[in-house]
């Protein structure tokens, strides 16, 4: 048994695990990237549900986590209800666009949402907007190319290459007169500081790490420890065997142990 399991379509959601570990360093965590089915953002609802149910079953069988964080907006908006019905004994915490936080800091009342195609199209975002930001204009942008860059290249890329990758999205929202950009895909949090740097003072960058991690921590008894405080990275498959070297870089960067294929 571990305290927390994190699931994403790839390695993009690792900043959520590292944020939780800053809040509770003694937590035992495993992170699973469903790399065999990456990317999720272009899949249908039915495909997403099928893939997530399969991986979650394997996570629960092997690790029996006290709580599972779905560290992916696309997975969350498509599967949370299904997961809670299928696994009623397990605590699930979803990751949804930080529209409430964006509304709290926006002065122009024009908010940008950068996400996957699936998340952009999901009506859940409109519900969030109507509930938390009814007086705001929500500007949408799907960016599968940036997500692919972050998953496959960013961890070994130069800062110049990363700036070039994020600039089209930043320019899009600036031209749309937004003063807040929501990182609506967890992959983007890997470059959050750089995106803020490129945006300058004109636009505030927000994401849901704090809210998600505090919610997850509230579900697990801090005194009920089961394993040593460690973080392990697992994936579901390699696109190429040479990708292993990239995972070694990721593990070193985030102080994680390599777990191998789930």
**Separation of alpha carbons 39 and 73, rounded Å:** 12
- Residue 227 clears pLDDT 70, i.e. is over it: no
Chain segment 178-210, per-residue pLDDT in tens: 999 999 999 999 999 999 999 999 999 999 999
Known catalytic residues? 72, 185
The CATH number corresponding to 99-207 among 3.40.50.300, 3.40.50.1860, 3.90.1640.30, 3.30.360.10 equals 3.40.50.1860
Q: Residue 223 has what DSSP assignment?
A: T
Q: What topology does CATH give the domain 4-95+210-261?
A: Rossmann fold (3.40.50)
Per-residue pLDDT of 77-103, as tens digits, reads 899 999 999 999 999 999 989 999 999
Domain edges within the chain: 4-95+210-261, 99-207
- Asked if 4-95+210-261 and 99-207 have one fold, the answer is yes
Residue with tokens 């579900």: 219
∠ Cα 134 80 97 (to 5°) = 35
Which tens digit of pLDDT belongs to each residue from 6-45?
Answer: 999 999 999 999 999 999 999 999 999 999 999 888 899 9
* SS3 of residue 140 by DSSP: strand
How far apart CA 44 and CA 42 sit, in angstroms, is 7
Residues paired with 257 in a beta bridge: 232
How many Cα neighbours within 13 Å face the side chain of 100? 10
Q: Which of 65, 70, 59 is nearest to 90 (CA)?
A: 65
């Amino acid at each position: 048994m571990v305290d927390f399991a994190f699931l994403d379509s790839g390695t993009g959601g690792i900043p959520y695990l590292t944020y939780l570990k800053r809040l509770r360093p003694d937590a035992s965590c495993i992170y699973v990237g469903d790399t065999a089915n990456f990317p999720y953002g272009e899949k249908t609802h039915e495909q997403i549900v099928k893939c997530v149910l399969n991986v979650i079953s394997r996570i629960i069988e092997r690790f029996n986590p006290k709580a599972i964080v779905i560290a992916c907006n696309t997975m969350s908006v498509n599967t949370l209800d299904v997961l809670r019905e299928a696994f009623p004994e397990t605590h699930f915490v979803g990751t949804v666009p930080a529209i409430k936080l964006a509304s709290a800091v926006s002065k122009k009342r024009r908010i940008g949402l950068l996400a996957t195609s699936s998340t952009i199209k999901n009506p859940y975002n409109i519900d969030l907007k109507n509930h938390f930001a009814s007086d705001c204009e929500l500007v949408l942008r799907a960016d599968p190319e940036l997500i692919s860059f972050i998953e496959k290249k960013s961890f070994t890329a130069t800062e110049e290459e990363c700036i070039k990758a994020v600039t089209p999205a930043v320019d899009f929202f600036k031209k749309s007169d937004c003063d807040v950009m929501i990182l609506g895909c967890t992959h983007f949090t890997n470059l959050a500081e750089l995106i803020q740097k490129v945006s300058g003072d004109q636009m505030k960058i927000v994401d849901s790490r704090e809210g998600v991690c505090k919610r997850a921590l509230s579900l697990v008894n801090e005194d009920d420890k089961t394993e040593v405080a460690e973080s392990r990275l697992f994936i579901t498959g390699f696109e190429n065997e040479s990708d292993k070297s990239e995972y070694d870089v990721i593990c070193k960067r985030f102080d994680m142990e390599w777990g191998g294929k789930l």
